[in-house]
Amino acid sequence: MHDKTNSSGAGHPWSALLLVVPAGLLGVALAWVLTLPSGLSGEAIVRALADGTGATVLGLAALPRLHERLRPPWRPLAVLAGIWCGAEFAVLVFDAAAVVGVPVRRLGAGQFRDFLVHVSGGQVGIAILIGSGAVACYSALAFRRPDTASVDLVLVFAAVTLALRPITGHMSQQAFGSVLAAVHALAAATWFGLLVALALVVRTRGEWAVTLPRYSALALPLIGAVALTGILNGLIRISGVTPLATTGYGRILLAKTAVLLTLLVLGWWWRRTWVRRAADHRMSARDSLHRAVIEVAVMALAFGLAATLAVTA
């Protein structure tokens, strides 16, 4: 999909989207403040990186479903899937150290091997590494032979890999808990990942005019699913309302909910302004990119909070 009109107005998306990284780290830092005097877990940082890159891979793979003329960006898919796989390995190392009860720097090779072989969390981690690694390898091969590659295969592998940890986590012990956790994880990843993918791939005013309204139509049900399943998961986990104020987990959950409400308001405002103007070809590609980066940065803040929430007792 390409439109020569205004093709130079979008700026360089990779440099603009670098704001996502400090926004995610800010979310982790805010969660740490809310859990004081507990210490900051290094796992929260690598979990935020893994979740963010995994969601972006899912979004890039889903682009052709948003519009048939959007081609799979195989090179960014391969690079980001490789980063995702590396981040998931780091998460696995932190998980092993937590189970063994030692700092990461003191985790021995034998202890790590025993965790992978004998602990369910380690076995799930291996499956996640295989899934993300398969996506990276396939995308690298597809970059060389794009005419014979299927992006749907990447989409399925990425979705299954992203759902593996949530469906086997603490919520799996509750009735329908695995379903709620999977819906929450996949809805959040699609909502975030598709907008990042649009910011990375869409270059012209005409492309934004076609793709942004379609993304906006998907975003509302996605954020609704994220909010509903997140609130249900949180309330089940803390077993009441009082712990929302008295526990670190509850305070992070409240902060995450506040960010989601902010995104709901921002999305409502964008639909009245940005989406309408973009659809009518009355907004430059650069301005659309800037608005996408703003929303993605707020989403990254929520991802940082969610990553810390996942590793908070």
Asked if residue 37 has a cis previous peptide bond (ω within 30° of 0), the answer is yes
**In this structure, how many other beta carbons lie within 10 angstroms of the beta carbon of residue 18?**
11
Task: Say how far apart CA 271 and CA 24 lie, in whole Å.
Answer: 25
List, for residues 224-283, the tens digit of each pLDDT value. 899 888 888 877 777 777 888 888 888 999 999 999 999 999 999 999 999 999 999 999
List, for residues 124-178, the tens digit of each pLDDT value. 999 999 999 999 999 999 999 988 889 999 999 999 999 998 887 666 566 567 8
Where residue 102 falls among pLDDT bands split at 50, 70, 90? Answer: very high
Reduced to 3 states, what is the DSSP secondary structure of residue 155? helix
Task: Say how far apart CA 272 and CA 182 lie, in whole Å.
Answer: 31
Contact between residue 101 and residue 229 where contact means Cβ atoms under 8 Å apart: no
Which of the four CATH numbers 3.30.1450, 3.30.70, 3.40.50, 1.20.1630 does domain 13-307 have?
1.20.1630
Residue 7 confidence (pLDDT): 41
**CA dihedral for 127, 51, 246, 32, sign (positive or negative):** positive
Q: What's the CA angle centered on 301, arms 298 and 302, to 5 degrees?
A: 95
16-21: average pLDDT = 80
- Which pair of structure tokens corresponds to residue 247? 């526990």
List, for residues 266-288, the tens digit of each pLDDT value. 999 999 999 999 999 999 999 99
pLDDT at 2 over 80: no
List, for residues 22-55, the tens digit of each pLDDT value. 999 999 999 999 888 776 678 899 999 999 999 9
pLDDT at 10 over 50: no
Q: What's the CA angle centered on 73, arms 70 and 74, to 5 degrees?
A: 140
pLDDT at 312 over 90: no
Residue 270 confidence (pLDDT): 92
Domain ranges, ordered by start, for the chain: 13-307
